[in-house]
Chain A
Amino acid sequence: MERLYQGAEWDFATLQRIHDACEEIGLRELGLDVYPTQIEVITTEQMVDAYSSIGMPLFYKHWSFGKHFTQHEALYRTGLRGLAYEIVINSSPCVCYLMGDNTATMQALVIAHAAFGHNHFFKNNYLFRQWTDAEGILDYLEFAKKYVARCEERYGHALVERTLDAAHALMAQSVDRYPGKKKLNLRQEEERERRRRNHKERNFNDLWRTVPAGAGKNVAELSIDRRRTLLGLPQENILYFLEKNGPRLAPWQRELLRIVRHIAQYFYPQGQTKVMNEGTATYVHYRIMSRLHERGAISDGHYLEFLQSHTNVVFQPTWDDPRFSGFNPYALGFAMMRDIERIVTDPSDEDREWFPAIAGTGDAMAVLRDVWANYRDESFIGQYLSPRLMREMRMFQLHDDPAESEGILVEAIQNEPGYQRIRRQLSRRHDIGWMDPNIEVVDVDLMGDRRLILHHNVVNGCALEETDAQRVLQHLANLWGYDVLLREIDSSDTVLKEHVCSPRNAVLAAA
């Protein structure tokens, strides 16, 4: 095969050739299934821009993005941190940003990584299919941006900013963890909001205000259970609850909460599939680049350049290394993908015992495609972390119980009795249910003092960090408009701690 490029220089024809070569290998040999790709070449400054608005090409304006921009820029400018080579967006067409400064080899690597690896994962993984709407996201962001700008015009920057601040603080607790009745479609969502408002404006009649309301329901008769059912409690999606039930929010504020909530939901799968997503992309770029090299499409020198970047990406420092900061998702993901490939094609007896379903079946890509489609980090590790890989990475498990004054116990190491425990524990470390505090709205007396009650279900005695919890509660109270109480409760229903917060400098639009 002819060389795709010479030297480090590239132009658009080169990119096209690289993409076509990658496409041939990716689709034909690896059997990938991808969204159409849109490659955008950007400058470093635009890359920093993209960083600060969580990679999205368009986003509403908020000071916190400016803060992140400032931070990233300072780090980049002083050379403390390099930039990612690419950013890829889960949308259709799948937008991949390429930095203009990259060499031709880096562009090839990035195209293979983002335009095929991530792209395939976005399109096929069940979490993304279930929770995100790749076709609608850019339109929805456009809507969000315009809507926020319109609100700022109408209700003032300060009010909008305060509402968004508060909503951002609650973002992580504002996703639906279980699929609802109907599929989300952000485009319809936007359309519906517009129609609803038009209808209201058209049918506004001040007379209705003067019509006396019928006798209210007898509140006392509502049992607590009934009340909670009516409000849909307990509710883990805090912004959803506020949007539907917040007594003092203006309609536009509810819409802002809704926007923030939707965006949180859109990013929800990404947090749960870091290892898999990066593992998939790394594995795909490794396969494609190696194949290109085999065919002679890239020279030995360029292949070495690629390997150097690749090994940097999949480097996993050990726990006692000063560079250690937890498991590198690229390293763990790539190692597991390679390991699965090995199990499928060249299993040992141990593998046959541990993975009877896939060991020796021969078609590594079929197994991997199935894995990529149907797992998230937690289940993926729980299912496919092999004893051999645990040995290779020399994994061990520590049990740190503050009640144990002697020190930290080494609970399991990479040996026969330890494999299962290590695997379970590592899988749990990647379970979003264990990573994020589990907080839900449990009760509110809308007819009484309207105090909102939340519970944090404490697991293993891990309480919330005090100052930040207090600050988030302040935001919540401001949105709610009345007192907020957060109880930290352990598994035996004992209340460990209570945080109370009253609303301050009202976020609420003057009624």
Chain B
Amino acid sequence: MQILDRRLNPSGKSLENRQRFLRRAKAHIQRAVREASQDRNISDILDGGEISIPADGLSEPRFHHGPGGIHDNVLPGNKTFSEGDILPRPEGGGGRGAGGASDGGADAEDAFRFMLTREEFLDLFLEDLELPDLAKRKLANVEHEGIRRAGYSVSGSPVNLAVTRTSRLALARRIALRRPTPKRIEELEAELAACEDTERRAEMRAEIAALKTRMKRIPYIDPIDIRYRRFENVPKPVAQAVMFCLMDVSGSMSEHMKDLAKRFYMLLYVFLTRRYRHVEIVFIRHTDKAEEVDEETFFRSPATGGTVVSSALEAMRRIVQDRYRPQDWNIYAAQASDGDNSYGDGELTASLITNAILPVTQYFAYLEVGEAGQHDNPVMPNSALWGIYERLATDGQALAMRKVSNRSEIYPVFRDLFQRQHEGKAV
């Protein structure tokens, strides 16, 4: 007999089969995920979870007997029947009395429920979403320089002297050139002191002198032994991103609008956490003046005042300057507003966006939120902010902008905004 412990074997032997299954059922699963993400809280989206898909396309059909026909069945547990009794058929035919006929029917197959892991859920959820022009920016800006050891060189600054390497080379040279060791000379000198024979003493003196000159000729460390540690600069990818959430919290923003904005931010967050190792979020809320707040305050606390959008942009510019060097951080910004802006602020907003914000951000999205059904009305004039941004966008600025008024529109808008941009098409 042989006992094997397989418990430490790599797990996930069925993983590939599972992936094949997911691939097979992809269309169904994707629809289910999309529906699920509309109905659920956004925080649940990050947890994955159970979904249910229709079973067709996944059936494994076999030939088997259908209902009907004559069945003889043997059952255990006869208590009251005698031979020749007639039992009424159970409702709906078949039933337990008729035995196996009810097994394997189609009823068990209408839906197939199973768990998706967080990764699988998100993968499906975010599939084929791609940041605009990310590739381009990645090559140019998503990297910065770092230094790395790169072997040894024969020249360099004394601080970079590679002592071990230098000594090793010196030792090799000394051995190769047969430089006499001090120990050898000491030994000879000791022997000389002890020796009485004059002829022998003269011989030894000569030898010692020869050794000493040889020792002088061959230096302990020669300049050709010296090596320096060499460093070279390498581009290092930036694995961190910061996401600025800008929101108008003046009285005109209703709870519904904030909810829409929140969903959008969270989707953006989900996306960024997948792309970058480290993601920070900065919440900036503004009325007629802007302040950086924590998440709770951002979404919950009411504030009163007018609406000056440029204050938020100015705050963002300052924070970027203080804390997030564009060389080190990928900067994303998403602004949500109902579109109001005070009359005199338009020019300042436009110039801040063009000169301060867009040059440092990877991506700037503006989401105009409205009450349910509001944007269905074509007669509604464009809001003040929309007007400004639209003008900038037509001038060729890289701005993404959308209007949303319903919860179920968030996801399509999100997809739309982040869909891989076709080449040549302005963002």
Contact = CB atoms under 8 A, between A and B. Distances in A.
Contact of A464 (B65, B70, B84): B65
B77 to A, nearest CB: 2
A426 B83 CA distance: 17
Contacts of B115: 70, 73-74, 77
Contacts of B86: 406-410
Nearest to A465: B66
B89 A41 contact: no
Contacts of A361: none
Q: From B2, B76, B79, B96, name the one whose CB has the most chain A CB atoms within 10 angstroms.
A: B76
A436 B65 CA distance: 8
B342 to A, nearest CB: 56
B144 interface: no
Q: From A71, A173, A396, A418, name the one whose CB has the most chain B CB atoms within 10 angstroms.
A: A396
B60 A64 contact: yes
B87 A399 contact: no
Interface string B82-125: 11111111000000111111011110000011110000000000
Interface stretch (B14-22, B35-43, B163-171, B359-367): B14-22
A318 B1 contact: no
Contacts of B59: 468, 471
Contacts of B70: 399-402, 460-462
Contacts of B84: 409-410
Interface stretch (A43-51, A191-199, A300-308): A43-51
A401 B9 CA distance: 55
B72 A398 contact: yes
A66 B17 contact: yes
Interface stretch (A131-139, A206-214, A320-328, A367-375): A320-328
B72 A169 contact: no
Nearest to B69: A462
A102 interface: no
B7 A43 contact: yes
B19 A46 contact: no
Contacts of A324: 77, 96
B64 interface: yes
A320 B1 contact: no
Interface in B1-33: 1-7, 9, 11, 13-14, 16-24
Contacts of B7: 41-43, 46, 100
For the complex, would chain A's binding face be called helix, strand, loop or mixed by DSSP majority? mixed
Contacts of A123: none
B78 interface: yes
Contacts of A467: 61, 106
B300 interface: no
B343 interface: no
A151 to B, nearest CB: 15
A439 interface: yes
Interface in B43-63: 50, 58-63
A398 B4 contact: no
A37 B13 contact: no
Contacts of B23: 63
A396 B14 contact: no
A318 B73 CA distance: 14
B68 interface: yes
A19 interface: yes
B139 interface: no
Contacts of B67: 465
A285 interface: no
Nearest to B19: A66
B420 interface: no
B92 to A, nearest CB: 13
A326 B100 contact: yes
Contacts of A410: 81-87
B76 A327 contact: yes
Contacts of A468: 59, 61-64
A12 B60 contact: no
A247 B63 CA distance: 23
B74 interface: yes
Contacts of B3: 12, 15-16, 19, 38-41
A170 B6 CA distance: 34
Nearest to A59: B17
A428 B79 contact: no
A422 B69 CA distance: 19
Interface of B: 1-7, 9, 11, 13-14, 16-24, 50, 58-79, 81-89, 96-101, 103-106, 112-115
23 contacts: A38-B3, A39-B1, A46-B13, A52-B17, A66-B14, A66-B16, A66-B19, A66-B20, A67-B60, A74-B115, A161-B20, A161-B24, A173-B63, A318-B75, A319-B76, A319-B77, A320-B77, A321-B77, A395-B78, A400-B98, A460-B70, A464-B64, A468-B62
Interface of A: 12, 15-16, 19, 23, 36-43, 45-46, 48-49, 52-53, 61-67, 69-71, 73-74, 77, 93, 97, 100, 115, 157, 161, 165, 168-169, 171-173, 316-321, 324-327, 393-402, 406-415, 417-418, 422, 425-426, 428-429, 436-437, 439, 456, 458, 460-469, 471-472, 475
Closest 3 CB pairs of A and B: A318-B77, A66-B21, A462-B69
